[in-house]
Amino acid sequence: MKTKVLMAILAAVIAGLIAVPWIASYFYVFIFTEILILGLFAASFNLIFGYTGMLSFGHAAFFGIGAYAMALILIHLEWPFLVSLLVSMGASALLALVIGFLSVRLNEVYFAMLTLAFGMMVFAIAYQWRSVTNGSDGLAGFTLGSFGLGLDLTLANPSVYYHVVLGIVAIASIVLYLICRSSFGMTLKAIRQNPERVSFAGLNVRTYRLVAFVIGGTFAGLTGGLIAPFLRVASPELLHWSMSAEPILMAILGGTGYFLGPFIGAAAFVLLETVITTYTQAWMLVLGIILAVMVIFFRKGLLGTVIDWWMEVKK
């Protein structure tokens, strides 16, 4: 019964998401495109944090690298969109392998500091290497060509791009979900709860952590590849630690203990940002206050709090 209700809700949400461009204005199409991309970005972060228990403060590095890879390919090589996305994923996977190799060996505190520092290293490179990255202005002025697979799609049309994003995010989310549910995902959860015990069971914790970190980074690269054509620019801001703060906040806001938590957090985040920035410039201040309140009082996030409340009511 419970799963049937859940399935019905999920189906309704998906149907609603598909219908957005037909029932709402471009303003909402843009908002939902952003929610989908950032939702997957936050979910990729949550594989590392919520599942494996490693709090990364440098997730924007993979997001930004994906965006830069996409922009560079569209400017210089004009490859089809899908192929460029694969390159975005490959570039961030490689970067995640290097940063992960140096960071996952040490405990949580070190991991947090190292991911922040290495994330800012990537930011520094994008900022200083003007001949390739165009420095602080970032890369702009690229146009989307063909989609790939012989499909004839006008990607420049926001509605079409929204549906493309919806399709790709849906497929990627299913893959990510299957990874989380697999025995590999279960092992990651076990590592979060008790690394020593997993280690004594004969598993190499470090390798598992590195693989989780690389998978999370790869999916973040995919979302970066999606965001560049959406924003029409790949700029150093996408690599800055304030960008790394966003998936952290989304995951905490939605609930780190659930696969769908980060998506709900991303929706709440984007809607809040849209509302709050019309009143005040101090978005980061509001962000800080929300994060502090969530961490202190609602550590299970919106989803977790609602589910707990629901269980309480049913009793």
Please state, in angstroms and rounded to a whole number, the distance separating the CA atoms of residues 69 and 67: 5
Indicate the DSSP class of residue 57. S
**In b/e form, how buried is each residue of 229-267, taking b as 16+ CB within 10 angstroms?**
bbbebbbbbbbbbebbbbbbbbbbbbbbbbbbbbbbbbb
Please state, in angstroms and rounded to a whole number, the distance separating the CA atoms of residues 170 and 229: 18
Confirm or reject binding of residue 206 to another protein (CB under 8 A). yes
At 294, the amino acid letter reads M
Contacts of residue 266, Cβ cutoff 8 Å, sequence gap at least 6: 35, 38, 39, 41, 42, 250, 254
The least distance separating another protein from the CB of residue 110, rounded to whole angstroms, comes to 6
Please state, in angstroms and rounded to a whole number, the distance separating the CA atoms of residues 314 and 155: 47
Q: Which is nearer to another protein, 10 or 98 (CB)?
A: 98
Confirm or reject binding of residue 201 to another protein (CB under 8 A). no
Please state, in angstroms and rounded to a whole number, the distance separating the CA atoms of residues 26 and 298: 34
The least distance separating another protein from the CB of residue 211, rounded to whole angstroms, comes to 14
Please state, in angstroms and rounded to a whole number, the distance separating the CA atoms of residues 51 and 18: 29
Neighbours of 269 (CB within 10 A): 25
Confirm or reject binding of residue 121 to another protein (CB under 8 A). yes
Confirm or reject binding of residue 117 to another protein (CB under 8 A). yes
Q: Which is nearer to another protein, 130 or 181 (CB)?
A: 130
- Tell me which stretch binds another protein (CB under 8 A): 15-23, 75-83, 107-115, 215-223: 107-115
Confirm or reject binding of residue 238 to another protein (CB under 8 A). no
Joined tokens for residue 250: 């989304």
The least distance separating another protein from the CB of residue 296, rounded to whole angstroms, comes to 5
The least distance separating another protein from the CB of residue 217, rounded to whole angstroms, comes to 17
Q: Which is nearer to another protein, 213 or 219 (CB)?
A: 213
Confirm or reject binding of residue 250 to another protein (CB under 8 A). no
Residues touching another protein: how many (CB under 8 A)? 46
| Binding residues for another protein restricted to 257-296, rule: CB under 8 A | 281-285, 287-289, 291-292, 295-296
Confirm or reject binding of residue 41 to another protein (CB under 8 A). no
Contact in structure between 47 and 215 (CB atoms under 8 Å): yes
Q: Tell which one of 75, 82, 94, 116 touches another protein (CB under 8 A).
A: 116
Annotate 30-61 with three-state secondary structure.
HHHHHHHHHHHHHHHHHHHHHHCCCCCCCCHH
Q: How many Å separate Cα 52 from the centre of its chain?
A: 16
Q: Which is nearer to another protein, 38 or 70 (CB)?
A: 38
- Tell me which stretch binds another protein (CB under 8 A): 20-28, 53-61, 88-96, 229-237: 53-61
Confirm or reject binding of residue 204 to another protein (CB under 8 A). no
Residues that bind another protein (CB under 8 A): 49, 53, 55, 57, 102, 104-114, 116-118, 120-121, 124-125, 127-128, 195, 205-206, 209, 241, 245, 248, 252, 281-285, 287-289, 291-292, 295-296, 299
